[in-house]
Amino acid sequence: MEGSRRLTFDGRRLTYEERGKPEGIPIFMLHGTPGSRVGPRPRGAVLYRLGVRLITFDRPGYGGSTRLQGRSVGSVAGDVERIADHLGIERFAVIGRSGGGPHALACAALLPHRVTRVAALVSLAPPGAEGLDWFGGMTRSNIVEYMAALAGLNHLTEILTPAAHAIRSDPAHLISGLYDELPEADRRVVANPGIRAMLLENYAEALRDTAAGWIDDAIAFCSPWGFDPADITAPTLVWHGEKDRFSPADHSRWLASRIPTARMTVHPEAAHFGALNVLPDMLPWLANQERII
């Protein structure tokens, strides 16, 4: 079941992968920013033992998927639905980490008849979230990126295109460039050889041809999302590390306060990349096996 596959529609290509148990509980996992379908994920043996069929895909503009300029966060719901239809999957759970968090919530809000459960790890909140200091506690590199996104496509392209080129030449460039901004908790996570190798593979695939996916993600985060988190009716788990400086924990607190079905967990000693360690623990809950996280 493993290996990349492609789905073509309306002149556009989506590249996706499946891992785990073929007849298992289907769970879509939505990657971070920048990211790709090969981003950090539980090992196939873990997925099989849990009875999970994990589906990942490249958002438009990343890896092997065609760009969709002007897409919103909510646009992802249509892509997930097309892949699910193609695979003959009627009902499924969704999980998203970092930049994948808002996209996972979009699926729950816009596909209520299909999404069984949703988890958003270290997610951003929508721009203009009432009562939230959106940039409060955020690291400088992310503030620069999102301010550029607010300034428009051309300005952001000027910033992220050379950054993507540097990462293409050396995928470790992204981690090393952020190292000074990483809290100690994140430094410990990315020092793990296995996680570091997955991150490097992820960044290399995400930006192998272009910075388009990264650019379009950033603009989408800073534009109207195309849905209201308050409309989510599926059971929702929101997780964050208190020491996160890339998407500060107050973003998840805001989301949890708006989503009627949300359950909030904040780990006091974890930061942004700590979500990679807890991701496997989310799968039993997403598969409705009722393990307490």
What does the pLDDT read at residue 38? 95
What does the pLDDT read at residue 291? 56
What does the pLDDT read at residue 2? 65
**The CA-based dihedral angle spanning residues 272, 168, 171, 36, taken in that order and rounded to the nearest 10 degrees:** 50
What is the arithmetic mean of pLDDT over 45-55?
94
Residue with tokens 């503030």: 143
73 token code pair:
């966060």
Q: Does 292 score more than 50 pLDDT?
A: no
Percent of the chain clearing pLDDT 90 (strictly above): 87
> Can the peptide bond before residue 235 be classed as cis, meaning omega within 30 degrees of 0?
no
pTM of the entire predicted model: 0.96
Q: Does 290 score more than 70 pLDDT?
A: no
CA dist 44 and 21 (Å) reads 8
Name the pLDDT band for 169 (thresholds 50, 70, 90): confident
At 230, the amino acid letter reads: A
User: For residues 3 and 80, which has the higher predicted lDDT (pLDDT)?
Assistant: 80
User: For residues 176 and 195, which has the higher predicted lDDT (pLDDT)?
Assistant: 195
Phi, psi of 20 (to 5 degrees): 100, -145
Instruction: Report the interhelical angle of 140-151 vs 153-169 (nearest 10°).
Output: 140
What does the pLDDT read at residue 170? 87
Residue with tokens 């990942």: 56
pLDDT digits (tens, 9 = 90+) for 275-288: 999 999 999 999 98
What does the pLDDT read at residue 43? 87
Among 211, 209, 259, 213, CA closest to 104:
259
Residue with tokens 């992220």: 160
Write the CB contacts of 108 (distance below 8 Å, at least 6 apart in sequence).
94, 115, 118, 232, 233, 234, 236
CA dist 18 and 57 (Å) reads 9
Q: How far apart are the first and last CA of the chain?
A: 29
CA dist 237 and 259 (Å) reads 10
Query: Which residue stretches of the chain are H helix?
Result: 44-50, 76-87, 100-110, 140-151, 153-169, 172-178, 184-190, 193-206, 212-221, 249-258, 274-286
What does the pLDDT read at residue 1? 56
What does the pLDDT read at residue 113? 97
Contact 261, 233 (CB under 8 A): yes
pLDDT digits (tens, 9 = 90+) for 192-223: 999 999 999 999 999 999 999 999 999 999 99
CA dist 176 and 179 (Å) reads 5
What is the arithmetic mean of pLDDT over 26-50?
94
Phi, psi of 105 (to 5 degrees): -65, -35
What is the arithmetic mean of pLDDT over 167-191?
87
Average pLDDT across the chain, whole number: 94
pLDDT digits (tens, 9 = 90+) for 115-157: 999 999 999 999 999 999 999 999 999 999 999 999 999 999 9
Sign of CA dihedral 2, 53, 233, 83: positive
What is the arithmetic mean of pLDDT over 105-113?
98
